[in-house]
């Protein structure tokens, strides 16, 4: 949206943008995400990215940190996106699962 922050403000929602380069995600990107989520503890939160790939990977890693079972966290992410090597390393998947980088049945 051209002015997402303003649009959401009119709805009484906060807006936090964490730009993440798809080809080069970093631990610092995830740390910003984790900090933002922690600051919103106890509130309803809506998270998204344009294809929901980045956020599904971040939510996987966050769920694992918070004690979710590996398979439960993976299944939620895998229903949206299956990350390839760069993302797998970032979120702590030991072995990239094949096929990788799938989104809604299409390869990125």
Closest by CA to 15, choosing from 34, 35, 36, 31, is 36
pLDDT at residue 106 in the model: 52
pLDDT tens-place string over residues 55-88: 999 999 999 999 999 999 998 888 888 888 888 8
Q: Compute the mean pLDDT over every residue in the chain, rounded to the nearest whole number.
A: 86
Summarize the chain as % helix, strand, coil (round to 5).
45, 5, 50
Q: What is the distance between the alpha carbons of residues 63 and 54, in angstroms, rounded to a whole number?
A: 14
Q: What is the mean pLDDT of residues 6-25?
A: 91
Number of domains forming the structure of the chain? 1
| pTM (2 d.p.) | 0.83
In this predicted structure, the answer to whether residue 92 has a pLDDT above a threshold of 60 is: yes
Q: Looking at residue 62, what is its pLDDT?
A: 96
Q: What is the pLDDT of residue 13?
A: 87
28 CA to centre of own chain: 13
Parent domain of 31:
4-107
**What is the β-pairing status of strands 102-103 and 81-82?**
antiparallel
- CATH code at position 47: 3.90.190.10
């Amino acid at each position: 949206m051209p002015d997402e922050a303003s649009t959401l403000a009119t709805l009484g929602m906060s807006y936090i943008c964490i730009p993440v380069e798809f080809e080069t995600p970093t631990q610092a990107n995830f740390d910003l995400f984790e900090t933002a989520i922690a600051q919103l503890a106890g509130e309803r939160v809506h998270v998204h990215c344009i294809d929901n790939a980045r956020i599904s990977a971040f939510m996987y890693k966050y769920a694992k940190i918070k004690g979710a079972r590996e398979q439960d966290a993976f299944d939620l992410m895998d229903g949206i996106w299956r990350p390839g090597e760069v993302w797998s390393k970032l979120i702590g998947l030991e072995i990239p699962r094949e096929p990788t980088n799938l989104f809604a049945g299409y390869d990125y």
